[in-house]
C-alpha cells in the first residue's frame, strides 16, 4: 500500500517511525474464487518479526462496488531471530545514540533467545473473531489497471500497488 486516508490505519503506519521497529509489509490478498480478502501487516525489530492479519468475506454488488465483512484477526507467533542484530547507532529526536555497548551486553543472552525461538515457533496462530456491526464495510473501486488500484469506502481512500509492479521502484 502506498497511501491511505483510513484514520484507523495511520497509527500502524506510524509504528515505522519508532526506533528499531520497521514496517516490513502492509498487503492485501484477494481470492476471487472464495470471495475472501486478507489484509496483512509484518513488523520487524532486531529481535523478532511479528505478523498479523484480518480476514474478510466480500460480495460483489456492482462492477465497481463490493460489500466487505471482516470475520477474524490472526496473530502469528513472533519469529524470534537467531541473533540479536542491533545497528551501531540510532537517531532519536535528533540525538545519535551509540548502541555498540548494548550489543556487547546482549551477546550472553544469545543462547536464551535461541531457546525461546524454538519454543515459540511451534505455537499455532492466535485467531480472534471480530464481532459487531463495525465489521461491515463497502469499497468502491474508482481506478484499476495492471499495477494500481484506487478505492474509496466508508473507511477512507486507499491507493494500492500490485506486488512486483515497477511503480514500487519509485
Q: Calculate mean pLDDT across residues 84-113.
A: 77
pLDDT value at position 6?
53
pLDDT value at position 20?
83
pLDDT value at position 11?
64
pLDDT value at position 125?
94
- In terms of Cα–Cα distance, which of 92, 71, 106 is closest to 21? 92
**Tens-digit pLDDT profile for residues 101-146:** 777 777 777 767 777 777 777 789 999 999 887 789 999 999 999 9
pLDDT value at position 53?
95
pLDDT value at position 139?
92
Pairing of strands 79-80, 3-4: unpaired
pLDDT value at position 16?
67
Please, what is the Cα angle at 105 between 101 and 109, to 5 degrees? 150
**Tens-digit pLDDT profile for residues 15-74:** 767 778 888 888 899 999 999 999 999 999 888 899 999 999 999 999 999 999 999 999
Cell 481506478 belongs to residue: 143
pLDDT value at position 160?
86
* Count of positions (residues) in the chain: 170
In contact, 72 and 129? CB cutoff 8 Å: yes
Amino acid at each position: 500500500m502506498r497511501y491511505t486516508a483510513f484514520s484507523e490505519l495511520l497509527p500502524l503506519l506510524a509504528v515505522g517511525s519508532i526506533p528499531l521497529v520497521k514496517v516490513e509489509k502492509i498487503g492485501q490478498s484477494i481470492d476471487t474464487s472464495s470471495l475472501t480478502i486478507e489484509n496483512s501487516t509484518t513488523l520487524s525489530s532486531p529481535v523478532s518479526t511479528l505478523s498479523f492479519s484480518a480476514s474478510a468475506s466480500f460480495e460483489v454488488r456492482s462492477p465497481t462496488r463490493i460489500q466487505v465483512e471482516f470475520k477474524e484477526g490472526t496473530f502469528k507467533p513472533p519469529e524470534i531471530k537467531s541473533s540479536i542484530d542491533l545497528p551501531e547507532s540510532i537517531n532519536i529526536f535528533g540525538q545519535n545514540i551509540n548502541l555498540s555497548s548494548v550489543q556487547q551486553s546482549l551477546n550472553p543472552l544469545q543462547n536464551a533467545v535461541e531457546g525461546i525461538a524454538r519454543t515459540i515457533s511451534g505455537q499455532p496462530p492466535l485467531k480472534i473473531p471480530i464481532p459487531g456491526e463495525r465489521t461491515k464495510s463497502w469499497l468502491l473501486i474508482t481506478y484499476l489497471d495492471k499495477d494500481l488500484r484506487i478505492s474509496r469506502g466508508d473507511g477512507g481512500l486507499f491507493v494500492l500497488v500490485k506486488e512486483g509492479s515497477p511503480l514500487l521502484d519509485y
